[in-house]
Structure 1
Amino acid sequence: MTLTLLPHRDKVGLTDGELLVAGAWRPARDGATWTHRHPATGEEIGTIAVAGPSDVDDAVRAARRAFDDGPWPRTRAGQRIGLLHRYADLLREHAEELRALQALDNGIPLSFGGIYAPSVGAAADVFDHHAGWVDKVGGETLPPYQGGDHLAMTFREPIGVVAAILPWNAPFLLFAQKVAPALATGCTVVLKPSEYATFTVLRMVRLLAEAGLPDGVVNVVTGPGDPTGEALITHPLVDKISFTGSRAVGRRIVAASAATLKRVSLELGGKSPTLVFPDAPDIGLAAMTTMGTVTMGLSGQACVAHTRALVHRDVHDQFVAVAQMMAGAVTYGDPFDAGVLASPLINTRQLDRVLGLVDRAQEQGATLVTGGTRPDGDLAAGNFVRPTVFTGVRNDMEIAREEVFGPVLAVIPFESEDEAVALANDTEYGLGAGLYTTDVRRAFRLARRLRAGTVGINGFQIEPHLPFGGFKQSGLGREGGRSAVEAYTELKTVLMPLTDELM
């Protein structure tokens, strides 16, 4: 039977996606729309408005008015805390609905919803965590350094209008990581979701209104990067851009921000290594965990997927055998089916790119152990690629250097600790890394030597209170915890004399 998702779409009752400007939902001024085709079937799921420059200008000016003249930046801490907690509760109440919308957007199976990081629960926890920061966003009082009797103080104030640009692969968590600290610190937001995961985000925004957020504090512009994203990143009234996505777009944002010196936070992906030593607690579990980040749920379409397995020669073959077995256990199909474990690639362009990288890896001498092909039959219309494992990979091969964003694992052998570290750090990226060993001294020693923003020892996860971001070309700044609060505020110094004499 041919796979179809139209009954699920009809059951959800999906409606066309509109723009949100100053509390009012509306189509684009020129009526332009974009049609979303599901990556598992190619079927038309729905249409969204394509915001042109005038629509983006309307949204930014609404956010500007809400920041300059509206109540949100001046709302008392207790009220802001209460709203963020109410919103977190609403997310949890609507978790099943949101997971269904995500499955219609990007094809992530419902079975993956129990994994913490990409779940609705994780997004709710991010809002709860940042609610706890609202009454702690403060400065310092400092002793006078010279001059007369006076007070020297610092304050942290909201940065202003934030352009938050989301990718398609983890809309729950990434919405929360950008919007929660922005709201906690008193900023206003113009949100641009990916055209491949719009319907999930629109529902999350509607829940903000139910929680009591004033009109204009969060505005939404939808559509592709050009024209919508380009108009947003170049708008002179935007104070800060927070972006998660590709390096190419990140570079464009840095260039566009120069004209007005916008503040910028960027998370631009990675080529994260896992280092597996013979004394790992369990070689099989290390292989399953590593292969799982590359195949399960997102099919390797995750910024921090550990797509380079650096494995000691003594356990290389054992690791590869388990990874191959794990690859064979992954199932594709209807994302609403509880037995389906992984998603399709997001579009045909990405499908062609991944298959091209697989072909070139073999041309460059890597050995294809399993996968690298598309399934046929009922899945032939979808953007599916079978889980893929390569051995005989050198670190200078394209498959070891490019962020594949697909279910492809490159296994590279090493013999010494120093060689492993050199291989791990020999990359333009530096987002994450994994390390499997029972030697505590080695674990701490290598965690310090690895040039990555997050290093997991015998496991890897993302938590709401921890900073997340990358070294090198993996981005600028951090999301999560205190670092996020600081990224959405400006530091102001105030001097006040305590006598009639000038300082």
Structure 2
Amino acid sequence: MPLTVQPHRESLGLKTGLLYVDGQWGPAREGATWTHRHPASGEDVGEFAAAGRADVDDAVAAARRAFDSGEWPNSRAGVRIGVLHRYANLLREHADELRALQALDNSVPLSFGGIYATSVGAAADVFDHHAGWVDKVGGQTLPPYQGGDHLAATFREPIGVVAAILPWNAPFLLFAQKVAPALAAGCTVVLKPSEYATFAVLRMVELLAEAGLPAGALNVVTGTGEAVGEPLITHADVDKVSFTGSRAVGKRIVEASAGTLKRVSLELGGKSPAIVFGDAPNVGLAAATVTGAVTMGLSGQACVANTRALVQRDVYEEFIAAAQGMTAGITYGDPFDPGVISSPLINERQLERVLGYIETGKREARLVCGGERLEGDLAAGNFVAPTIFADVDNAATIAQEEIFGPVLAVVPFDDEEEAVRLANDTEYGLGAGLFTADVQRAFRVSRRLRVGTIGINGFQVEPHLPFGGFKQSGLGREGGRSAFEAYTELKTVMLPLTEEMM
């Protein structure tokens, strides 16, 4: 029987066709809407407002007023802390509802939506964490350097109006990673969710208003990147842009920021290596970990997934056999079915892109398994079978370009020096995984890798750790104190304490 998600859509109910500006829900000025097509079933799920430039102007103006003359930037620390903690608790209370809305958005299975990195609980923890910084990050008082009697002090102040632009693949966590530090610092926000993951975000916004966030402090404009994202990143009254998404869009944001010298934070993807040494504690477990990250859950549509496996030759065939065995247990279908553990690709354009890379891979390397679109009852969805390529040259297209699908490229290496060279031979530098029983080697190699985050014999998301990339994987960090400070400006004030210095 063909897959359908309509019963779930009807039982949940959706907020459709509305923007959120200055504390009020309303339609786009021109009344335009976007119809969301479910990636697993091909059905039309619902509509939401498709904003235009005038709507962006309204939202930015509301955020500007709220920052320049509203209560949030000047609120006492206890007020901000209270709102953020209440919101974290509301997220936890509504976790099941939000996971179901996400399944209608991007078809991430409920079974995977409970895993910490993609869970509502992780988002709640991020808000709790940043609430803790509100009354702890400040400036300094410094002694005079040149003599005389004067006071030199620094202050951290909110940066202003922030444009936060989200991708579709992890809306809970990425909403939190951008909105939590911005609000904690006292900024105001104009948020643009992906048109492929909007319904869950709109509910998150409702809950934030319920937690007591004043009108104008957070505004939401929904729609396409061209119609909404472009006028948002070029708007003169936006002080900072925080974006997670493709490298091409990230470069456009840097270009657009030049006119007004906007502050920019970018997380732009990766081609992250997993380096499996012959002394890995458990080669089979390493293979399952790497392959699972590329095939389970988001079906490889995750920026930090280790889509390149660099494997030492003495365990190379063992790794490939274990990886292939792992793919046999991947299940697809209705995201509300607890037995389903992986997603379709987000849209038909991405489906065709991934299938194109697979065809290229067949010319460049040895296809171990997969490589085809899933048919039968899943034919209306954007499903691609887990795909593994072996004997891949690190210079090959499938080893260098971000595919964003369930495709793993396995590259052999001989020694540590070659492993480091291959790992760093990429334009990206987001993350890496190391599998070894040698602690000295683990730290030695970690220090040589040009990446932002490294997991040794495993990987875990933590709300208090900075996350971001080297090279073309982005600018800045999200998470921890560094993220909070990225939404502030540092101000210096000098005060003479005697008349002689006036």
Name the aligned partner's letter for residue 477 of structure 1.
Answer: G
| Superposed displacement of residue 392, structure 1 | 1.3
Q: State the distance in 1 between where 2:320 and 2:357 align.
A: 20
Q: State the distance in 1 between where 2:17 and 2:389 align.
A: 41
Q: Deviations over 1:84-130 (max 9, x none)?
A: 11000000000000000000000000000221111000000000000
1:133 aligns with 2:133: yes
Q: Is the 1:178–1:242 Cα contact (8 Å) retained in structure 2? A: yes
Q: State the distance in 2 between where 1:409 and 1:490 align.
A: 42
- Which residue pairs with 2:63 in the alignment? 63
Q: State the distance in 1 between where 2:372 and 2:17 align.
A: 35
Name the aligned partner's letter for residue 411 of structure 2.
Answer: I
- Which residue pairs with 1:438 in the alignment? 437
Q: State the distance in 1 between where 2:268 and 2:113 align.
A: 24
Q: Could you tell me the TM-score, scaled by structure 1's length?
A: 0.99
Name the aligned partner's letter for residue 500 of structure 1.
Answer: E
- Which residue pairs with 1:358 in the alignment? 358
- Which residue pairs with 2:310 in the alignment? 310
Percent identity reads 76
- Which residue pairs with 2:111 in the alignment? 111
- Which residue pairs with 2:331 in the alignment? 331
Q: State the distance in 1 between where 2:219 and 2:469 align.
A: 28
Q: State the distance in 2 between where 1:148 and 1:17 align.
A: 63
1:425 aligns with 2:434: no
Q: Is the 1:332–1:341 Cα contact (8 Å) retained in structure 2? A: yes
Q: Deviations over 1:330-369 (max 9, x none)?
A: 00000000000000000000000000000011122x0110
Q: Secondary structure at the match of 2:100?
A: helix
Q: Deviations over 1:397-442 (max 9, x none)?
A: 1100011100000000000000000000000000000000010110
Q: State the distance in 1 between where 2:116 and 2:437 align.
A: 25
Which of structure 1's runs of 4+ aligned residues deviate more than 4 A? Answer: none
Name the aligned partner's letter for residue 95 of structure 2.
Answer: A
Q: Deviations over 1:24-59 (max 9, x none)?
A: 111110011111000001100011111111100000
1:146 aligns with 2:173: no
Q: Secondary structure at the match of 1:87?
A: helix
CA RMSD of aligned residues (A): 0.7
| Superposed displacement of residue 445, structure 1 | 0.1
- Which residue pairs with 1:24 in the alignment? 24
| Superposed displacement of residue 486, structure 1 | 1.1
Q: Secondary structure at the match of 1:152?
A: strand
| Superposed displacement of residue 147, structure 1 | 4.6
Instruction: Structure 2: state its 5+ residue gaps.
Output: none
Q: Secondary structure at the match of 2:463?
A: coil
Name the aligned partner's letter for residue 169 of structure 1.
Answer: N
| Superposed displacement of residue 15, structure 1 | 3.4
- Which residue pairs with 2:381 in the alignment? 382
Count of residue pairs brought into register by the alignment = 502
Q: Secondary structure at the match of 1:349?
A: helix
Matching of residues 3-18 of structure 1 within 5 Å: 3-18=3-18
Name the aligned partner's letter for residue 445 of structure 2.
Answer: L
Q: Is the 1:17–1:199 Cα contact (8 Å) retained in structure 2? A: no
Q: State the distance in 1 between where 2:450 and 2:283 align.
A: 24
Matching of residues 446-465 of structure 1 within 5 Å: 446-465=445-464
1:290 aligns with 2:254: no
Q: Deviations over 1:213-239 (max 9, x none)?
A: 000000000001011111100100000
Q: Secondary structure at the match of 1:74?
A: coil
Q: Secondary structure at the match of 2:151?
A: strand
Q: Secondary structure at the match of 1:404?
A: coil
Q: Which moved more, 1:111-120 or 1:282-291?
A: 111-120
Q: Which moved more, 1:9-18 or 1:329-338?
A: 9-18
Q: State the distance in 2 between where 1:375 and 1:160 align.
A: 48
Q: State the distance in 2 between where 1:4 and 1:113 align.
A: 19
Q: State the distance in 2 between where 1:225 and 1:114 align.
A: 29
Q: State the distance in 1 between where 2:54 and 2:410 align.
A: 49
- Which residue pairs with 2:91 in the alignment? 91
Q: Deviations over 1:8-35 (max 9, x none)?
A: 1001112314111100111110011111
Instruction: Structure 1: state its 5+ residue gaps.
Output: none
Q: Secondary structure at the match of 1:176?
A: helix
1:400 aligns with 2:408: no
Q: Secondary structure at the match of 1:72?
A: coil
